[in-house]
Amino acid sequence: MYYFIRNAPCETNDLPIELRASLLVLSENLPHQRFEGTMSGMNQPQSSSKNGKKTASAVFGFVLRSVITGLALAFIILYLWPSISDRFSRESAPAQVITIAPVSYADAVDRTAPSVVSIYTTTVEVQQVPPRLQRITGSPYVVRRRENMGSGVLVSDDGYILTNNHVINLVQNISVALWDGRFAQAEVVGSDPETDLAVLKIDVDGLPAAPLAADSNIRVGDVVLAIGNAFGLSHTVTMGIVSATGRNDLRAVLYEDFIQTDAAINAGNSGGALINYRGEVIGINTRNLGQPQGAQNIGFAIPIAMARNVMQQIVENGTVRRGWLGALFSDLPLTLPTDGSAVRRGIQVRDVTTGGPAWTAGIRAGDILLSLDSTDVDDARAFMLSISQRQPGAQIELQVQREAEVFETYATLIQQPPLR
């Protein structure tokens, strides 16, 4: 090796300066005269002390030259064959960065649990007694009290509570149990059956408001926790993941955009909080698919963005203002192009209210609606949700197909009339 470097036939001036420097260092430090001091010391009679010092010095020099030589060789190899470095980099680099989950979610629970309340309702029902039993009861009617329970989320420190409409619908008395053991009577500010949301108000001081997620950046696989009054066990916490988003085919309410989770949502959890790992509320728990459907751990929550919008409108206006087109739609069947793929474009117009916005825009039953504001549509329920989220008075552009004819038209939305 020493001879090859010392007598290399190539013109070193053609090499980069870094490589020439490494070759020079390598040629000067190759151990071609090993232990020179030691060998010369053996030919001259000296004291053992001097011999020891020279030997140590020679060994140190040999090790130093070897290290320098190795570094120079490494630089030359990596310079001449850079693919070696790339291969080691690829082998050592991780394929994907995976975030390590925390060992405990206690901090997230501590942040939100105080703002989750337990709701207890009482309904008084008057039932008619069969004639054969009237002699026993002494009256043709009997009064029955039915008690139920649910959950809610304090969304402000002045006492506003978000819950489900089905928790408080048609009840006569609503009692709220707080985290610190206090009880308060609640009044209904307003409700929205179309999304199964309701807003309550209590008059209590020192209330902790829940931290609401600022965005809706929810991904399938995210860890979530459900907090609520499950079976009367207040502030029960269950954990799972986001199983799906944008569920709108349950036919449970008119406007659906549910978060699906496998965190257990039991009886009494309705209206409680679904939180992320930071303790932020991302949804209001609303329902599950239970044993009658043969389901296990399939629960649903209303996204907090939708819940916040409904709550703000109820507090400000006493009701929810929604755009309404005045037509009913249904999904089209899938079509099979020649390449074998399955596609669906457009939605079917099933019915049109005479004199409504759709009727005025020239849309009739049997038409195919292709796009909304230049965006293709293929999901009837998603289209109706999009219309409902626009304000009355908004103008929309629609592309419509009638048999072989395709045309554009404009419609001005109006306030949605009561549907129930």
Kindly write down the DSSP assignment for every residue of 179-227, as one continuous string. TTS-EEE-EEEEEETTTTEEEEE---SSPPPPPBPSS----TT-EEEEE
Instruction: Name the token pair of 275.
Output: 């939180």
Q: Whole-angstrom Cα distance, residue 343 to residue 341? A: 6
Q: Whole-angstrom Cα distance, residue 144 to residue 172? A: 12
- Considering all CA atoms of the chain, what is the largest pairwise distance in Å, rounded to the nearest integer? 136
Closest CA to 259 of 274, 272, 271, 280: 274
Q: Whole-angstrom Cα distance, residue 12 to residue 80? A: 14
Closest CA to 155 of 309, 259, 269, 385: 309
- For residue 349, the one-letter residue type is V
Name the H helices within 113-164. 131-137
Beta strands 116-128; 173-177: pairing state: antiparallel
Q: Whole-angstrom Cα distance, residue 221 to residue 77? A: 46
The CB-based long-range contact list for 75-81 (8 Å cut-off, 24+ gap) reads 75/18, 75/19, 75/22, 76/19, 76/22, 76/23, 76/26, 79/16, 79/18, 79/19, 79/22
List, by residue number, the catalytic residues. Answer: 166, 196, 270
Q: Whole-angstrom Cα distance, residue 295 to residue 289? A: 6
Contact status, residue 12 vs residue 23, Cβ threshold 8 Å? yes
Residues in the chain: 420
- For residue 68, the one-letter residue type is I
